[in-house]
Chain A
């Protein structure tokens, strides 16, 4: 069987400690620059990850036997907190431009969340031998996939409408989406290949999280407000005129292209 050589313990420890230091730096900047009240869910998520990393390090050194339970418990909390970051991105990224889309995304996100977590809670209550780590891993896999779809839709909407999100929110979106994409890829490959490459996948996840932390520390070093946008006030009737004009122009372009192609 092919096995990946485990990463040296010292290197793992250095990466672990670096992560904790960067998390502290981001949290400190968030408080001193007054960014935490602007992005409360993101800073709550980062606090969860910080508590998980710092306490995990202590548990791993003092009571290695407890670590697995400790890890999966915190992982569950961090995944739930991470999902709230997506809700915050929907709230801050799409408002006030796309109030309708914001509501649609938010309701969809809440529905998916309730379905996944509700299903797992029911299963956990009814199935006697359901282990905590399996439940946590299942919730994580499904929530991360849902996050991937939601983030793709949000990024597409922001790009399509040319919405200005500001340096701070852009950093949060880039860092978090990067993490989610890597986790989705790594988890899917890992579930196919089994435990042979577990160390490699674990290292990939840690490295991608460190990269995300670096993105966040740069983007959130100082507060940069999102450019002010007046809430939409144009009446519905004008919007209908606009869409009709756009459709008419598109039909004209399509007719010309079709004529050229059918010649």
Chain B
């Protein structure tokens, strides 16, 4: 029974992947003007930062919540929470879009290099997946419980995601024996 379920799920997963592949339109060959403009735009947005950090601070400011909850009437409180929820959802949607842009930029550029490193690429792909899952989890949490009440739902998801990433990274070490290629980047993430 377990064997049947395992093999059937492999087949079903392959069909799902095939469905996505069949729907995908053939991308334009790289080197075109549009691809170059897109890549440059993505790179600029990466260099200038995804979004201003003070905006993030403001959207989720606990002081604002405490102030409104202590001073205003229930109607105003309701409007405040609704507006903050909208802003938080818009913010996380934009971060997700930027991560997708970053992924498109990296995959579009990296394939032009002769010395593509399998381990680095797999680790980056896993990181992209974990970030996108995190964005979706945040979206769901903000939608269901609002920006201020989402913390207990998200914190475990983040730690699980980080753990998966570090385990995957370690398990892929066999692909590049010898020194670690980006010790400072890896160290930053571990921290």
The answer to whether A192 touches B4, judged by C-beta atoms less than 8 angstroms apart, is: yes
**Chain B contacts for A231, CB-based, 8 A:** 114
Interface bits A226-243 vs B (CB < 8 Å: 1, else 0): 011111111110111011
Of the candidates A185, A233, A242, A260, the one having the most CB atoms from chain B within 10 angstroms of its own CB is: A260
Would you call A253 an interface residue if the criterion is a C-beta within 8 Å of the partner chain's C-beta atoms? yes
**Assembled-state Cα–Cα distance A135/B81 (Å):** 67
Closest chain B residue to A188, Cβ basis: B7
Question: A238 with B111: in contact, given A189-B8, A246-B106 (CB under 8 Å)?
Answer: no
**Chain A contacts for B112, CB-based, 8 A:** 232-234
The answer to whether B11 touches A181, judged by C-beta atoms less than 8 angstroms apart, is: yes
Question: A250 with B138: in contact, given A99-B114, A261-B154 (CB under 8 Å)?
Answer: no
The answer to whether A162 touches B131, judged by C-beta atoms less than 8 angstroms apart, is: no
Closest chain A residue to B150, Cβ basis: A261
Would you call B21 an interface residue if the criterion is a C-beta within 8 Å of the partner chain's C-beta atoms? yes
Interface size on B, residues (CB 8 A): 81
The answer to whether B7 touches A145, judged by C-beta atoms less than 8 angstroms apart, is: yes
Contacting chain B: which of A47-55, A75-83, A150-158?
A: A150-158
**Assembled-state Cα–Cα distance A260/B107 (Å):** 27
Chain A positions 143-184 with a Cβ under 8 Å from a chain B Cβ: 145, 148-149, 151-152, 155-156, 158-167, 170, 173-174, 177-178, 180-184
The answer to whether A164 touches B7, judged by C-beta atoms less than 8 angstroms apart, is: no
The answer to whether A243 touches B135, judged by C-beta atoms less than 8 angstroms apart, is: no
The answer to whether B151 touches A262, judged by C-beta atoms less than 8 angstroms apart, is: yes
The answer to whether A262 touches B104, judged by C-beta atoms less than 8 angstroms apart, is: no
What bracket does the count of chain A residues touching chain B fall in? 35 or more
**Chain B contacts for A232, CB-based, 8 A:** 111-114, 116
The answer to whether B56 touches A174, judged by C-beta atoms less than 8 angstroms apart, is: no
Would you call B182 an interface residue if the criterion is a C-beta within 8 Å of the partner chain's C-beta atoms? yes
**Chain A contacts for B68, CB-based, 8 A:** none
Would you call A191 an interface residue if the criterion is a C-beta within 8 Å of the partner chain's C-beta atoms? yes
Chain A positions 210-239 with a Cβ under 8 Å from a chain B Cβ: 227-236, 238-239
Closest chain A residue to B142, Cβ basis: A260
**Assembled-state Cα–Cα distance A228/B131 (Å):** 33
Question: A174 with B7: in contact, given A161-B111, A245-B46 (CB under 8 Å)?
Answer: no
Interface bits B32-43 vs A (CB < 8 Å: 1, else 0): 000000000001
* Residue positions of A touching B, CB distance < 8 A: 97-101, 104, 145, 148-149, 151-152, 155-156, 158-167, 170, 173-174, 177-178, 180-185, 187-189, 191-192, 227-236, 238-240, 242-254, 256-263
Since A184-B7, A260-B91 are in contact, a sample of 8 more A-B pairs with Cβ atoms closer than 8 Å, ordered by chain A residue number, is A101-B121, A182-B15, A188-B8, A232-B112, A242-B106, A243-B124, A247-B124, A251-B189
- Top 4 nearest A-B pairs by Cβ distance? A188-B7, A236-B115, A185-B11, A261-B154
